[in-house]
Amino acid sequence: MNERYEACMRACDACARACDQCAVACLREPDASGLAACVRLDVDCALMCRFASGAIARRSARAGDVCRLCADICEACARECDKHAHAHCRECAHACRACASACVEMT
């Protein structure tokens, strides 16, 4: 498998972990009810990143389409995380943008 594919899978896997961590941390915040949109996007993004990584690993003929959608969801998640001052949201936004960039390279 070429380096571009490997890099995208690594970015997807790292983003999924960051989104999982952000969602759990958001639920532990005192203002958790105000972070519901962030938690939902974190979960959506984590699931999409795992799906994209698997599509690339399987060399799916639709991997480019999956990566395009993954990039869109990652960008949406990053924008939502940018609205919050929590360190876990900043880390998640960074991972989401890195993943979106790697996914765009796959399309």
Domains of the chain: 3-105 (1.20.1270.360)
DSSP annotation of 32 reads G
pLDDT digits (tens, 9 = 90+) for 35-79: 999 999 999 999 999 999 999 999 999 999 999 999 999 999 999
Count how many Cα atoms sit within 13 Å of the Cα of residue 73 in the half-sphere of its side chain.
23
CB–CB of 53/19 below 8 Å?
Answer: no
Are 29 and 35 a contacting pair, CB within 8 Å? yes
For the entire predicted model, the pTM comes to: 0.95
Let me know how long the chain is.
107
